[in-house]
Structure 1
Amino acid sequence: MWIPMMAAAAQHDRVVLSPRRLQQHQQQQHTPSPDRDRHGRRTYLHMVPILPPPPAVPAINDGQDTIISDRLQDTSFQYTSAAPSVISGNAFTTPSKIPNSINKLNLIQSHPNKWGSSRKVHERSTGPDWFETKMANAKMEKKRSSKCFWSSSFVVDPTTHFHYKWLMLVTVTILYNLVFVIGRGVFWELNNAMPTIWWILDYASDGIYVVDTLVHAHEGFLDQGLMVRNSHKLRENYFSTSKWKSDFLSLLPTDLAYFWWPSGSCSADVLPCPVIVRANRLLRVPRMLEFFDRTETKTGYPNVFRICKVVFAILILIHWNSCLYFAISYVIGFGSDNWVYNLQGARNSSLSRQYIYCFYWSTLTLTTIGETPQPENELEHVFVVADFLAGVLIFATIVGNIGSMISNMNVARVEFQNRMDGVKQYMAFRRVSKELEARVIRWFAYTWANKQALDEERVLAALPDKLKAEIAIHVHLDTLKKVEIFQDCEPGLLEELVLKLRLQVFSPGDYICRKGDVGKEMYIVKRGILSVVADDQKTEIATLSAGSVFGEVSVLEIAGNKTGNRRTANVRSLGYSDLFCLSKRDLWETLRDYPEARHSLMQRGCQLLRKDRLLDEDAFLQAQTQNETINEAVSRLGMYKKVLFNYK
């Protein structure tokens, strides 16, 4: 019976009605009210103001004029405090909101159809659609919940500094549980010493765990190279891995076991202490390892950090083993034999004595060095054998890792030493003078002391070209801007030139260039002092310091240069000097793609030559005319080629 009703309701705006409401609906269809149409749907004609009749319009097909409803003319504009109105069976607004809702007048007009006849067409006013209303409500809900942890806009970027600091706080909390949950569970004096402080620290760490679970569930991840920021997808990714299991297990309220724990526990007679039920908090260790990995990539001393991490792991293992030794001594009986811990005496009953002795015993056992008391029963033998095996396996791995770390720390030094030994062997084989050999050795010592023995090209070879360019720009761009001819050049040219710069180190007394040499490089002084000397090699003409540039005109090959692109002075290094070198070939390869910059550089070079009266104007103009003639010929050949191609 419901199926025909539902079908009938689907024909009228797809609203499913109960049998009683359906009967009322059918009655309304047969007896429409003054403010309802023949389908029982509410109209708004009673609220439309009276409009004057429009001028007569000639009929298009059958001569009938447009008819304005008499009902519209007889109705005055008014508002009523009625219930929510209904259009198409959907409640969407009240009459008080009609001015913002009605888009069309509810008119009954005569329109000619395609057969040339006239028929009545009902046009009813339209209001906000249910879908638009739903979307508007959804947007408002999203705006209200934008700051909620579980909203669609909350996301934590794992690459930010905030996330790193948060991991640091979580790691401190995990370290607290690693050390004190096990320690307080065995050493009763430690647990009973500060009960209020332990209670505050315990539940403060639990609060951090809860917040970290929410942060962990909303950590962004990369999908096709883009950071996913949709909370729904983030939670799906979180629950698709095993991360959520350790997070939720570490949050289980095992502290409720305190209510069933026997009173008077946590003493020399009753162990372990109730705090041992919080051992599930140790399951949060993967977050600490994540922090260690992040720190290893961020720190400038990764090898030192790795060694510290290994030492920390050793100390934690020794601490846990010492707590286990003390617990086994309790199970067997304190002082029952020579192997277990003896509580007799005021000295042995203190907390410091208990922990230090157990830590000492654990260190000797795990490292298999030194003498320890011999076990006397089966449980003691099993525990010692397990300790020996664990010590051999664990410390073999640890020692191997430390050895490899120390070797990696000395790789650069070993490579540098091998290069220097090879040069010394070559000089000894070729019988180089002692003075020159001493200069070479001093040069090696200077480069190593100033961190310049690093092969930059090999170190940066693993990076993509864009990152190489950014590093080079960060290091060399300010230096290149100091060159007068490169000032006001377009950034693209400078970014390509910085990749061509090469660092050269000169020893005291080395000549960078001599008068009359063909200029093939230009130099920028990074560090050190250079002296410009006369032909007698003694008279000092000028001094160059950091930021000075020389040789820039010779690499431009300007026609009309009276020096013929040769060096005009002798430049010598007074001490150790670091210079950036840019070769002529690299410069012109780069300028090939920047014709405007090439023209600008040539103009600047000509200005420098004119300033020093070293430019032959006639030769320069003649060469410029020849270049223009060649360019015109090349352009004509290109035009002829186009014409021939079009003709074919």
Structure 2
Amino acid sequence: VDPAGEWYRRWLTVMIIPVLYNWIILICRLHRSCFSDLQRNYLALWLTLDYLCDLLYLLDMAVRLSTGFLEQGILITDRKQICKRYLRTSQFVHDILSLFPTDLLYLKVGIHTPVVRVNRFIRTPRLFEAFDRLETRTPYPNVFRVCKLMLYIFVFTHWNTCVYFALSEYIGFGADGWVYPNMSDPAFSTLTRQYLYSFYFSTLILTTVGDTPEPHREEEYLFMMMDFLVAVLVFATVVGSIGSIISNLNKADAAFFPNYERVKSYLKVHRVNRDLQRRVNNWYQHLQINQKMTNENEILKTLPDRLRAEVAVSVHLQTLMKVQIFQNCEMSLLEELVLKLRPQVFSPGSYICKKGDIGREMYIIKEGKLAVVADDGVTEFAVLGEGNYFGEISILNIKEIGNKSGNRRTANIKSIGYSDLFCLSKEDLKEVLSEFPGAKTILEEKGKAILLKMKMLDEAAALEVGNQEAGLEAKVQRIEKSLGSLYTSLARLVGELQSSTLKLRYRIKLLEEETRVWPISDPDSEREERGRQ
């Protein structure tokens, strides 16, 4: 069994049932302490469910004996190794204790004493493991956390209910206004009323809403004080959990959608006109209502590069392959380009580009409609829909190879409604093509073919530019050769300089040694000595 697989998750989901059954039902059936009528009236049902849960516990041990484990990142599937590892863990000890045949004590204490099965609670960690696994798989983790918290509160209140009823039985039903009323009253004699009244009373205490009868005996005071102290802890836990869930929701919104509050404050501080503020408000409202994401790269940045590329490829590769110049390109280049795509949303009437603008991006239409309009902004020449693209020539910088338009936009394009586009900038393409020099040449050739077809390429200029580039390339090669020769000569000179320096240092050292052996005399003192002689 793969511990990360779907089958294992489903089995953990099944194991929630027996664990919760023991936690909820066992406390209700305790003889002479809780709802003992529940034990006596439905004995056959409880015995059947008890041993069915024991069977699931036993099957769970078999599943553990067949569940692989990771060693140095590799899934170990050898059954002998799995069994050996499981038998050495504390999980095996807990599983054995939870299935220890304490039911044999029924022969001594009687069949109506289910307290002998209290060891079944030891299997509780399996419940927590199942919840953790489900929380990571569910598409609504915050809703799941709320439901899990409510379940914990219910189980705790349920136990408190049973303790209250047992305490009432110990003190005496109807002995005062705090305990459960006397069962001689038909309204309070049924099992359903006993449980609901006790549960309601426990809820009042644990929620500290008041309206609880005043206690009269020491046991009642102790019970109330303990419940109040626990209620404070439960209340703090609930508030903290709900606050954490709300915080997670806010963080999720901040991760998926841009923060509008700062933009709103900016517009107010600078007193931007109301019409522009309204357009900005509508744009943000559209993003929020329709769940539009404009920062995908920021969301996926925590993933490893390879995994992030695979996610981006699965989402956007088909869109990128619709662009003519990128068709038949190698997959590694497309994967790098997919990571550079930036989603953008344009509101109705917004211009994506205007005639004469310098082309720095290309756009791919994911959703919506764009209109190619005249300078008056009203006359429509064409409508572009989902899957269309434009601006692919501009990001290749075709001006250098004879583009008659001078790498400027040749049309006005504006959004008819709300439009979702993917943008690829010239800088991002240049960065990617620096690692794929062969692909750069292929893309430029495709760009030339498109411009020739559109009659937007000056062939003479392109040829002249090509000759200039060839001449420049030859000059660069000659310069590189000259630099190589200069580097060689420089290295030789440096070597000779180092050798001369070493020789000079050696000679200076010898002279210093001779000076220390034969001290230098003063010429004036020598002449005076000769005169005296």
User: Would the aligned equivalents of 2:255 and 2:299 in 1 still touch at CA under 8 Å?
Assistant: no
Alignment match of 2:435 (pick from 586, 589, 593): 593
Other-structure match for 2:172 = 333
- Write the letter of the residue equivalent to 2:146: I
* Paired position in structure 1 for 2:16: 171
CA contact (8 A) 1:182 1:279 kept: no
Partner of 1:443: 283
Q: Which residue in 2 is equivalent to 1:244?
A: 92
Q: Distance in 2 between matches of 1:356 and 1:291?
A: 30
State the alpha-carbon separation in 2 of the partners of residues 328 and 430 from structure 1. Answer: 68
Gaps of 5+ in 2: 493-533
Residue 160 in structure 1 maps to residue 2 in structure 2: no
Q: Please report how far the alpha carbon of residue 239 of structure 1 lies from its aligned counterpart in structure 2 after TM superposition.
A: 4.2
Counterpart of 2:501?
none
What SS does the aligned partner of 2:187 have? coil
Q: Which residue of 1 aligns with 2:36?
A: 188
Counterpart AA for 1:467: L
Which has the higher mean CA deviation after the structures are superposed, 313-322 or 443-452? 443-452
Residue 219 of structure 1 is matched in structure 2 by 67
Q: Give CA deviations for 1:108-153 in whole Å, capped at 9, x if unaligned.
A: xxxxxxxxxxxxxxxxxxxxxxxxxxxxxxxxxxxxxxxxxxxxxx
Per the alignment, residue 427 of structure 1 pairs with: 267
Question: What are the Cα deviations for residues 488-527 of structure 1, in whole angstroms up to 9, with x where unaligned?
Answer: 1100000000111111221211111111111111011111
Distance 1:235 1:634, change over 3 A: farther
In the alignment, structure 1 residue 627 sits paired with structure 2 residue 469: yes
1:319, CA displacement in angstroms?
Answer: 0.4
* Residues 349, 237 of structure 1: alpha-carbon distance in 2 compared, 3 angstrom cutoff: same
Contact 1:213 1:247 in 2 (8 A): yes
Structure number with higher relative contact order (C-alpha < 8 Å, ≥ 6 residues apart): 2
Moved more, 466-475 or 426-435: 426-435
User: Is structure 2 residue 250 aligned with structure 1 residue 410?
Assistant: yes
Deviations 1:259-278 (A, max 9, x none): 22347xxxxxxxxx322222
Q: Distance in 1 between matches of 2:54 and 2:481?
A: 81
Which residue does the alignment assign to 1:390?
A: 230
Is the aligned partner of 1:476 residue 2:316? yes
**1:576 equivalent in alignment to 2:418:** yes
Residue 309 of structure 1, aligned match among 134, 148, 163: 148
Q: Separation in 2 of the partners of 1:416 and 1:465?
A: 20
Shift of residue 388 of structure 1? 2.1
Residues 212-267 of structure 1, C-alpha deviations (whole Å, 9 max, x = no match): 1232244333333333334444344434443223211111111112222347xxxx
| Contact 2:257 2:287 (C-alpha < 8 Å) held by counterparts | no
Matches for 1:360-375 after TM superposition, within 5 Å: 360-375=200-215
Q: C-alpha displacement at 1:641, in angstroms?
A: 7.1
Letter in 2 for 1:512: I
Change (3 A) 1:457 1:548: same
**What does residue 44 of structure 1 align with?**
none
Partner SS state of residue 395, structure 1: helix
* Superposition RMSD in Å: 2.6
Aligned length: 484
How far apart, in 2, do the equivalents of 1:613 and 1:479 lie?
27
SS of equivalent residue, structure 2 residue 268: helix
Counterparts of residues 602-617 of structure 1 (less than 5 Å)? 602-617=444-459
Q: Which moved more, 1:407-416 or 1:554-563?
A: 407-416
Gaps of 5+ in 1: 1-155, 264-272
Is the CA contact 2:256–2:295 (under 8 Å) kept in the aligned structure 1? no
CA shift, 1:337, in A, is 3.7
Superposed, 1:538-549 pairs within 5 Å as 538-549=378-389
Within the candidate set 249, 259, 276, 2:115 is matched to: 276
**Does the aligned pair in 1 maintain the 2:257–2:295 contact within 8 Å?**
no
1:33 corresponds to: none
> Bigger CA drift: 446-455 or 200-209?
446-455
The answer to whether the 8 A contact 2:256-2:299 is kept is: no
Shift of 1:638: 5.8
Say which is worse superposed, 327-336 or 527-536, in terms of deviation.
327-336
TM-score, scaled relative to structure 2 = 0.84
Query: Aligned ranges for residues 493-508 of structure 1 at < 5 Å?
Result: 493-508=333-348
| Structure-1 residue corresponding to 2:352 | 512
1:210 aligns with 2:210: no
Offset at residue 419 of structure 1 (A)? 4.3
SS in 2 for 1:410: helix
Q: Could you tell me how far apart the structure 2 residues matched to 1:248 and 1:425 are?
A: 63
Q: 1:597 to 1:301 in 2, by over 3 A?
A: same
CA distance in 2, matches of 1:350, 1:586: 76
* CA offset digits 1:574-596 (Å, max 9, x no partner): 11211111111111221122222
Which amino acid in structure 1 is aligned with residue 52 of structure 2? A
Cα 1:389–1:536 change in 2 (3 A) is closer
User: How many Å separate the matches in 2 of 1:454 and 1:365?
Assistant: 49
Equivalent residue, structure 2, for 1:463: 303
Cα distance, 1:646 vs structure 2: 9.3
Structure 1 pair 505–204 and aligned structure 2 pair: CA distance change class (3 A): same
Q: Which residue of 2 aligns with 1:141?
A: none
Instruction: Give the match's secondary structure for 2:301.
Output: helix
Instruction: Evaluate the alpha carbon distance shift between residue 340 and residue 615 of structure 1 in structure 2; reply closer, same or farther with a 3 A threshold.
Output: same
Q: For the residues of structure 2 that align with 1:370 and 1:430, how far apart are their CA atoms?
A: 52
Give the TM-score normalised by structure 1: 0.70
Q: For the residues of structure 2 that align with 1:583 and 1:160, how far apart are their CA atoms?
A: 41
Give the whole-Å Cα distance in 2 for the aligned partners of 1:469 and 1:416: 19
Q: Shift of residue 479 of structure 1?
A: 0.9
The range that moved more, 481-490 or 321-330, is 321-330
Residues 1:573 and 1:586: Cα distance change in structure 2 (over 3 Å)? same
1:452 aligns with 2:300: no
The equivalences for 1:344-359 within 5 A come to 344-359=184-199
Deviations 1:418-462 (A, max 9, x none): 943433333334332222221111112112212236643443332
Structure-2 change in CA distance of 1:628 and 1:351 (3 Å) = same
Query: Displacement of 1:355 after TM fit?
Result: 0.7
- Bigger shift: 237-246 or 412-421? 412-421
The CA distance in 1 between the partners of 2:250 and 2:483, in whole Å, is: 64
8 Å CA contact retained: 2:329, 2:439: yes
Q: Which whole-Å CA distance do the structure 2 matches of 1:636 and 1:236 have between them?
A: 71
Structure-2 change in CA distance of 1:453 and 1:494 (3 Å):
closer
Determine the C-alpha separation between the residues in 1 that align with 2:127 and 2:281.
Answer: 47
SS in 1 for 2:51: helix
Counterpart-to-counterpart distance in 2, 1:455 and 1:610: 37
Q: 1:415 to 1:205 in 2, by over 3 A?
A: closer
Q: Is the 8 A contact 1:556 1:584 kept in 2?
A: yes
Comparing 325-334 with 245-254, greater Cα deviation is found at 325-334
Instruction: Tell me whether 297-306 or 473-482 shows the greater mean CA deviation.
Output: 297-306
